[in-house]
Structure 1
Amino acid sequence: MRRSLFVSILHDIQQVNEYLIQTCDATGALGLSSVQKMIVALWILQYGVPADSVDKYIRIGESTAIAALNFFTRSIVATYDAVYLRSPNEVDVARLLQEGEQRRSSLFAELTRGRAPTANYTINNHAYTMGYYLADGICPRWATIVKTISQPQDAKRQVFARMHEACRKDVERAFRVLQARFNIIRVLVKGWSDEDLYYIVKTCIILHNMIIEDERDILENERSAA
């Protein structure tokens, strides 16, 4: 991420968690800096290294590194969850449909509860007003879930299966991009509790979305200047 984004995130999470603010001990000696605490958390997330391996590089012990990661991930979720992990609104849907004109499927977190932003599109002369999930055979048979066709026989079903699986691969590739950015998602997770993993994964997704948004703003500004 860019330095400006790093500084912005650090400022925001300091407002919700005092642990991330540098303090002094009883003798007046300064403790670990806010930057050190955030860097050690990002180091563990990005490289997936054990907490006891960061002392050599960042001069923070194992227990402190674990505490820094836990405070960091919980602060990130508390600060940004409502913005970067919200369900897509109509503006988001319109943008996604415009960007992926040839790929008409979208994912909506609220579909399973019968709620979703309006998404108007037409397939085979049939008008639809709600998005849907692309899924494989293990998912339930719901109206908002579209599965591939197992062993398609005729040409029409073969085309459907091929296009369906191609779109599903787009989603899988997106998750691999997340894994590439945060190695902790792809390595063994021994030592982390279920609660820790919950916040770790959500933090990785939020940070990924923030970085993508920041990079998109850079490109838009460059195009405007041109």
Structure 2
Amino acid sequence: MANLAIYVTVRSYVQRDREECHDRMMKNYFIERPRFPTHDFRRQFRMRRELFESILNAVVNHDHYFARRLDAAGQQGLSPHQKLIYVFRKLANRCSADSTDEYCRLAESIAIENLKRFCKAIEGIYGATYLHKPNRKDLKRLLRKVDKRGFPGMIGSLNCMHWEWKNYPTGWAGQFKGYHNKPIIVLKAVVSYDTWIWHAFFDAYGSNNDINVLWSSPLFDNVVNGWAPEFRYKVNCNRYELGYYLTDGIFLKSFSHPDSAKNKLFS
């Protein structure tokens, strides 16, 4: 019988001094007179400290995973501030899972689990408020705001973003080709004036362009089925009864210098 070699990987324990790390974070940003001013906090985490603390309280109340508790060795575990600072640093700077270990004291496996739990908590807390199409009350608010800015009847800004797909399956590479022969995935989104992304749709690029992605999305289902709410407004002395989206020239090419009555009307 051939010799059977068994390899056992022993994981070394790393003393991360999490209590000391928590105290340093509080002195840096969260005490009455922190070491770093408010504009440094906003630059690091892309938000105000008040918003950070509001999200922190909501997440801790929703999922006790984020509350501070004793670990198996009887030591104080990670604080809510450590867990959320890691999340916002990763989301704001697109860094790797273990890149903030020196500051936040999260091992890579814990950091990944922490991010997943945070995303589920945010969806559970804010999903009913933000992950829905505009109702009549929302539409009235949007239309009232854009009308003051000179765009009567506009219900959102529509655009597509092309994302390079880094870890794509090799067998799918041919049908996901983008402009530069790299696999691309398209994200189409509708955003309101207050950055409320109330519609998002992913599609592969490949044979699709922005118009095909728009066509395959459910954005205009209500219009096609006759369920879309009607608005009455005037633009250039013409009456309209359906809202519209503000887009760039990718979706609809216009004439930069219209030289006829027909082209001027189209533009």
Q: TM-score range by the shorter chain?
A: 0.5 to 0.7
Structure 1 equivalent of residue 240 of structure 2: 128
Structure 1 equivalent of residue 89 of structure 2: 43
Structure 2 equivalent of residue 10 of structure 1: 56
> How far does the alpha carbon of each residue in 1:13-59 deviate from its partner, in whole angstroms, 9 at most, with x for none?
22322211112124431110111111100000000111121112211
Match of 2:113, SS state, is helix
Aligned positions of 1:1-226 closer than 5 A: 1-88=47-134, 89-102=138-151, 105-107=154-156, 109=199, 111-114=219-222, 115-135=227-247, 147-149=252-254, 154-155=259-260, 157=263, 161=267
| Distance in 2 separating the partners of 1:101 and 1:135 | 15
Offset at residue 76 of structure 1 (A): 1.1
Identity among equivalent positions (%) equals 34
Match of 2:154, SS state, is coil
| Distance in 1 separating the partners of 2:126 and 2:151 | 31
| Distance in 2 separating the partners of 1:151 and 1:47 | 38
Offset at residue 119 of structure 1 (A): 3.7
> How far does the alpha carbon of each residue in 1:101-135 deviate from its partner, in whole angstroms, 9 at most, with x for none?
25753327585122445543212322223212345
| Structure 2 letter corresponding to 1:113 | D
| Distance in 2 separating the partners of 1:130 and 1:118 | 5
| Structure 2 letter corresponding to 1:154 | D
Structure 2 equivalent of residue 184 of structure 1: none
Gaps of 5+ in 1: 140-146, 162-226
Contact 1:54 1:61 survives alignment (8 Å): no
Structure 1 equivalent of residue 26 of structure 2: none
**Structure having greater relative contact order (Cα 8 Å, sep ≥ 6):** 1
TM-score, normalized by length of structure 2?
A: 0.49
Match of 1:133, SS state, is strand
| Distance in 2 separating the partners of 1:159 and 1:45 | 45
- The CA RMSD measured in Å over matched residues stands at 3.0
Contact 2:153 2:242 survives alignment (8 Å): no
| Distance in 2 separating the partners of 1:100 and 1:6 | 31
Contact 1:90 1:119 survives alignment (8 Å): no
Offset at residue 99 of structure 1 (A): 3.9
Q: Which has the higher strand share?
A: 2
Structure 1 residues 48 and 9, CA, compared in 2 at 3 Å: closer, same or farther?
Answer: same
| Distance in 2 separating the partners of 1:54 and 1:159 | 56
Structure 1 residues 63 and 160, CA, compared in 2 at 3 Å: closer, same or farther?
Answer: farther
Match of 2:92, SS state, is helix
| Structure 1 letter corresponding to 2:115 | L
| Distance in 1 separating the partners of 2:248 and 2:147 | 26
| Distance in 2 separating the partners of 1:58 and 1:35 | 9
Gaps of 5+ in 2: 1-46, 157-189, 191-198, 200-217
Match of 1:106, SS state, is strand
Q: Which has the higher helix share?
A: 1
| Distance in 2 separating the partners of 1:8 and 1:117 | 35
